[in-house]
């Protein structure tokens, strides 16, 4: 199985989710989203795969937005506003908070 994690190595929850994937023997592609920001389209696709509205993918401390379109614009412009870690496998995608949510995709 393969997984992609939208990851911040400074975030403990992100590190924990990555460790759970590695312990499960999953081949993980790590995307450090602050160094390599995902496009607006990639964020929209992840949200759709996770079955969540883009506003649900914003960090709690992000500025408030009026619409999902505005949320996508904000996350594309300022990737630090994306909630992490976002994990995707062929089974779908989740925001792994708590990190144990990655097990839903294994």
Return the SS3 of 21: helix
Known catalytic residue: 11? yes
Q: How many Å apart are CA 75 and CA 70, to the nearest integer?
A: 9
Point out the catalytic residue in the list 4, 11, 42, 81. 11
Cα 68 to chain centroid distance, Å, stands at 16
Alpha helices in 1-106 (DSSP H): 12-23, 40-50, 68-77
Distances (CA, A) of 39 to 1, 20, 34, 48, 74: 24, 26, 12, 14, 11
Question: What is the set of active-site residues?
Answer: 11
């Amino acid at each position: 199985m393969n997984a992609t994690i939208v990851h911040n190595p400074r975030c403990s929850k992100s590190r924990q989710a990555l460790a759970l994937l590695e312990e499960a023997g999953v081949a993980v592609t790590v995307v450090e989203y602050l160094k390599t920001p995902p496009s607006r389209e990639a964020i929209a696709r992840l949200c759709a795969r996770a079955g969540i509205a883009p506003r649900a993918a914003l960090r709690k401390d992000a500025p408030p937005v009026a619409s999902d379109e505005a949320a996508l614009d904000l996350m594309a412009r300022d990737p630090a506003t994306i909630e992490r870690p976002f994990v995707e496998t062929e089974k779908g995608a989740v925001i792994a908070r708590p990190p144990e949510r990655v097990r839903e995709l294994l």
